[in-house]
Amino acid sequence: MCGIIGYTGQKRALPILLEGLRRLEYRGYDSAGVALVDRNGLSVTKAAGRIFVLEQLIDTQLPQTHGIGHTRWATHGAPTDVNAHPHVDATDRIALIHNGIIENNRALRTYLEQQGIEFRSETDTEVLVQLIAHFYDGDLEAAVRRALHDVTGTYGIAVVARDELGVIIAARKGSPLIVGVGKGEHLLASDPAAILAHTTQVVYLDDGEMARITPDELRLTTLDAVPVARGVEEVEWSLEQIELSGYDHFMLKEIFEQPEAIETCLRGRIDLTEGAVRLGGLVDCTRELTRAKRIILTACGTAWHAALVGEYLFEELVRIPTETEYASEFRYRNPIIDDGTVVIAVSQSGETADTLAALAEAKQRGALTLGVVNVVGSTVARESDEGVFLHVGPEIGVASTKAFTGQVAVLAMIACYLGRRKHMSPTAAMQFISALAQIPDQMRRFLKNAEQTEGIAEQYCNRENWLYLGRGYNYPVALEGALKLKEISYIHAEGLPAAEMKHGPIALITKGMPVVVIATAGVQYDKILNNIEEVRTRGGSVIAIATEGDKEIQSMAEHVVYVPDTIEPLQPLLTSIPLQLIAYHAAVKRGCNVDKPRNLAKSVTVE
């Protein structure tokens, strides 16, 4: 979950590397470093801490036009100056940066130490640069290729050598890497956002591929030196989309972007005249999908919560048995996948290691695999048989917001698309699609008067335990609300199906404990009012998310946040937003780093 950047061309490399690292910081931010190369040799500067620590350390006028940079999320070796990347071999000829885990690092380290090589750090990564140097005889590409044959694990790497000016060798297995193509220059990055300021022309590396880049040449080969021909693709995101645009945090910007993001997500896909959904990405597998006997949704974190809403949607609209699986469990559970099983991998980044492995497991067992993904060109998108993109634009805040509602909107469209081909009547489909079409404006209306969420956060942000309760489609929203609060404000919170309270968690309730209850109109409205009563009689403070116009609930809750009315299956698209804002304001009031919460990273590319 680190960020990698590289530049070779005519311009000074350092400003480009530092800017790229700032844009990659959401991937990992506990230490950073750069290696620059010119006739005077290798110049490496690295330090524990955020990018600004590195910027204070380094001479920002350094002239080199060739270099690599890294921002780290530590897995092996604490975030210290010595363990920061780049790592340099014992003879100071080669520097390397790495995203991933070298699993057989201990065995390789023992072998290299027996060769008399002294190690400087505790990291798994240093083993790789020492191994490359061990095989190096003036051809960096060959030495990297040779070393990688002895390595097990995952990697996205970039390597430079003191004696090979202008050359960067890159390789990928399990961690994303793209090459940016410019005039007389090439860039390298873990993510398009890091190089968008310089080019929108990119080449995506696949697993098992290497790249040799110089200012004027890009050569792709497999690990076995077989040449690879790959076209240049255009990145659809604009630079403006990855800027803060006046907001204090990317998370707040992305919360307020949801109306437009969902509008873009729905555009050209819902037909209000025909009452139909059109999903180009599913056309080639529609027959197989409609014959499916079982659907498995697999994901991690917030994407798993969206997948759980998807389970409810598929069972109600398509009437097909559907399960939601944590990818990290599914991949090792010897899952039963037979003919007619469809596996849908849901992921914002499209690079989450557990989700990728679950997808590979499903493919290997013969399932039809779909990807519901935000990042175009990402590995889940390229590895799944078919799929649907969210088109909600880049999501930079580590806490996922617009990708959650984007994932729910896409799963809702897929469910209606298949439902229409199975049991859903044209009228029911038209009602569903009309309600979906109103969501962006309903989001806008709610966001116009959302200040109340700040007051609620102010009142309870010093309480260390919160509960979130929901029923039906809003049970996954309760889970999501709790996750948002946990990951950015570090308050312990638990989301539950409201009826589960009586089976234990109700014992947690103390006087004034904040309990968020999603109590919007629906078949279980009376039941949820009973759950509110249970909380109140134990002294809990109820923060109710209710449907506009519901007067009855006012007398039952300390706070009532109203959201516009919509059909139950689509309520998660509206009820999740006040929970995003409450978590956001609580984190700000507690002085937390909202966009870069501790111990987290935007895309979890290691197991």
Q: Between 164 and 191, whose beta carbon lies closer to ligand AGP? A: 191
CA distance 387 to 285: 10
Smallest distance, ligand AGP to C-beta of residue 372, A: 10
Binding to ligand AGP, residues 220-259 (CB under 6 A): none
Smallest distance, ligand AGP to C-beta of residue 543, A: 21
Smallest distance, ligand AGP to C-beta of residue 175, A: 13
Task: Determine which one of 2, 300, 461, 592 is catalytic.
Answer: 2
Binding to ligand AGP, residues 586-605 (CB under 6 A): 603-604
Task: Determine which one of 173, 253, 596, 602 is catalytic.
Answer: 602
Smallest distance, ligand AGP to C-beta of residue 304, A: 7
487 is a contact residue toward ligand AGP (CB under 6 A): yes
Q: Between 235 and 482, whose beta carbon lies closer to ligand AGP? A: 482
Among candidate residues 142, 133, 95, 97, the one with its CA nearest the CA of residue 115: 133
CA distance 2 to 477: 29
Contacts of 593 (CB under 8 A, 6+ apart): none
By three-state DSSP, how is residue 253 classified? helix
Stretch that binds ligand AGP, among 205-213, 241-249, 394-402, 436-444 (CB under 6 A): 394-402
Is 602 tagged catalytic? yes
Q: Between 3 and 301, whose beta carbon lies closer to ligand AGP? A: 301
Q: Between 74 and 532, whose beta carbon lies closer to ligand AGP? A: 74
Stretch that binds ligand AGP, among 89-97, 278-286, 395-403, 416-424 (CB under 6 A): 395-403
CB-based contact 587:429 (threshold 8 Å): no
CA distance 473 to 454: 25
Binding to ligand AGP, residues 506-535 (CB under 6 A): none
Among candidate residues 344, 251, 241, 242, the one with its CA nearest the CA of residue 289: 344
CA distance 352 to 371: 12
CA distance 515 to 493: 9
Smallest distance, ligand AGP to C-beta of residue 137, A: 41
| DSSP line for 414-481 | HHHHHHHTTT--HHHHHHHHHHHHHHHHHHHHHHHT-THHHHHHHHHTT-SEEEEEE-GGGHHHHHHH
CA distance 603 to 303: 12
Binding to ligand AGP, residues 396-415 (CB under 6 A): 398-400
Q: Between 23 and 145, whose beta carbon lies closer to ligand AGP? A: 23
Helix axes of 426-448 and 402-420: crossing angle, nearest 10 degrees: 170
Q: Between 432 and 584, whose beta carbon lies closer to ligand AGP? A: 584
Q: Between 161 and 303, whose beta carbon lies closer to ligand AGP? A: 303
CB-based contact 108:151 (threshold 8 Å): yes
Q: 342 is written with which tokens? A: 């469809």
Q: Between 75 and 286, whose beta carbon lies closer to ligand AGP? A: 75
Strand partners, 559: 543
Q: Which of 48, 242, 303, 443 binds ligand AGP (CB under 6 A)?
A: 303
At 37, the amino acid letter reads V
Smallest distance, ligand AGP to C-beta of residue 484, A: 7
Smallest distance, ligand AGP to C-beta of residue 466, A: 17
CB-based contact 192:4 (threshold 8 Å): no
Binding to ligand AGP, residues 325-384 (CB under 6 A): 347-349, 352, 355
CB-based contact 395:257 (threshold 8 Å): no
CB-based contact 514:494 (threshold 8 Å): no
Phi/psi-derived region of residue 347, left when phi > 0, alpha when psi is between -120 and 50, beta in every other case: beta
Smallest distance, ligand AGP to C-beta of residue 583, A: 10
Q: Between 181 and 345, whose beta carbon lies closer to ligand AGP? A: 345
Contacts of 188 (CB under 8 A, 6+ apart): 4, 5, 6, 7, 68, 158, 168, 170, 177, 178, 179, 180, 211, 213
Q: Between 506 and 516, whose beta carbon lies closer to ligand AGP? A: 516
Is 592 tagged catalytic? no
- Per the listing, tokens 């890497």 go with 177
Smallest distance, ligand AGP to C-beta of residue 491, A: 15
| DSSP line for 83-117 | TSSPEE-TTS-EEEEEEEEETTHHHHHHHHHHTTP
CA distance 20 to 85: 15
Strand partners, 544: 517, 560
CB-based contact 253:244 (threshold 8 Å): yes
Smallest distance, ligand AGP to C-beta of residue 327, A: 8
Binding to ligand AGP, residues 74-93 (CB under 6 A): none
Cα dihedral across residues 51, 52, 56, 61: positive or negative:
positive
- Interface with ligand AGP (CB under 6 A), residue total 15
Smallest distance, ligand AGP to C-beta of residue 358, A: 11
Q: Between 477 and 513, whose beta carbon lies closer to ligand AGP? A: 477
Residue nearest ligand AGP, Cβ-based: 301
C-alpha 71: how far from its chain's center?
17
Using CB under 6 A as the criterion, what x/- string covers residues 283-302 for binding ligand AGP? -----------------xxx
Burial class (CB in 10 A: 0-12, 13-18, 19+), 519: buried
566 is a contact residue toward ligand AGP (CB under 6 A): no
CB-based contact 350:375 (threshold 8 Å): yes
- Applying CB under 6 A, the residues found at the interface with ligand AGP are 300-303, 347-349, 352, 355, 398-400, 487, 603-604
- The catalytic residues are 2, 602
